């Protein structure tokens, strides 16, 4: 069984895994479009996102304070396995029903958050490490719909920066990340 959320995650996950697999240890200290995060920091955060959103799909508590170093031997394969578990967790239609007890938001919105985090942080990591990255049109549409509904609240809570203007030649994904306060022209130099 699948859901719209799991289908979108099934498209986004391999793209994120490809970016993560291509990151070398000598890139860990590079800056990212997330000003407070190096590549290593953002990899750790993305790993945490993938694990915690599995718990949120099952209406279990997520431990955002957990600072376990997941970037130890075999971390790329573990990340790939955890993204598969993320897709599977959101494939259960019950995962999208009701309100998240931990977040107080509709479960459908929480599922969108998992997709957005996976997509945008994969973009961040690709930019930081000089890799190409794009998302499927349906994923970008979900990102934009999410920002239409939740963008202002996310900015007020510090989850997103103020939107920036995307250049005329920006891709649809770059326009989407610009809505979240990321500079589509960002480069590590």
Confidence band, pLDDT 50/70/90 cuts, at residue 102 = confident
Q: What is the DSSP string of 44-96?
A: HHHHHHHHHHHHHHTT----TT------STTHHHHHHHHHHHHHHHTTSGGGG
Buried b (16+ CB within 10 A) or exposed e, 91-116: beeebbeeebeeeeeebbebbbbbbb
Where does residue 18 rank: exposed (0-12), middle (13-18), buried (19+ CB within 10 A)?
middle
d(CA 27, CA 122): 15
d(CA 62, CA 19): 25
Neighbours of 189 (CB within 10 A): 4
Q: What is the pLDDT of residue 172?
A: 95
pTM here? 0.95
Q: pLDDT digits over 178-189, tens only?
A: 999 999 999 987
Angle formed at CA 88 by CA 87 and CA 89, multiple of 5 degrees? 95
Q: pLDDT digits over 110-161, tens only?
A: 999 999 999 999 999 999 999 999 999 999 999 999 999 999 988 998 888 9
Maximum C-alpha span of the chain:
45
Residue 38's beta-bridge partner residues? 31
What is the average pLDDT score of the chain? 95
Structure tokens at 93: 């239609």
Neighbours of 157 (CB within 10 A): 9
Specify the DSSP class assigned to residue 35: T
Q: pLDDT digits over 45-64, tens only?
A: 999 999 999 999 999 989 88
Mean pLDDT of 14-25: 97
d(CA 43, CA 21): 11
pLDDT above 90 for 67: no
Q: What is the pLDDT of residue 159?
A: 86
Domain ranges of the chain: 4-134
CATH superfamily ID and name for 4-134: dinb family like domain (1.20.120.450)
């Amino acid at each position: 069984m699948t859901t719209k959320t799991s289908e979108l995650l099934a498209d986004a996950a391999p793209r994120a895994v490809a970016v993560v697999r291509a990151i070398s240890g000598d890139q860990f200290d590079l800056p990212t479009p997330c000003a407070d995060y190096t590549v290593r920091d953002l990899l750790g955060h993305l790993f945490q996102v993938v694990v915690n959103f599995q718990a949120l799909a099952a209406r279990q508590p997520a431990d955002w304070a957990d600072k376990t170093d997941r970037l130890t031997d075999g971390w790329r394969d573990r990340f790939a396995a955890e993204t598969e578990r993320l897709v599977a967790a959101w494939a259960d239609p019950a995962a999208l029903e009701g309100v998240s007890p931990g977040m107080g938001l509709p479960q459908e919105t929480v599922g969108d958050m998992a997709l957005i985090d996976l997509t945008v942080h994969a973009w961040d990591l690709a930019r930081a490490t000089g890799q190409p990255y794009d998302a499927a049109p349906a994923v970008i549409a979900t990102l934009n719909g999410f920002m239409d509904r939740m963008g202002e609240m996310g900015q007020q809570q510090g989850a997103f920066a103020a939107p920036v203007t995307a250049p005329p030649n920006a891709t649809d994904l770059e326009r989407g990340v610009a809505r979240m306060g990321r500079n589509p022209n960002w480069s590590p130099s």
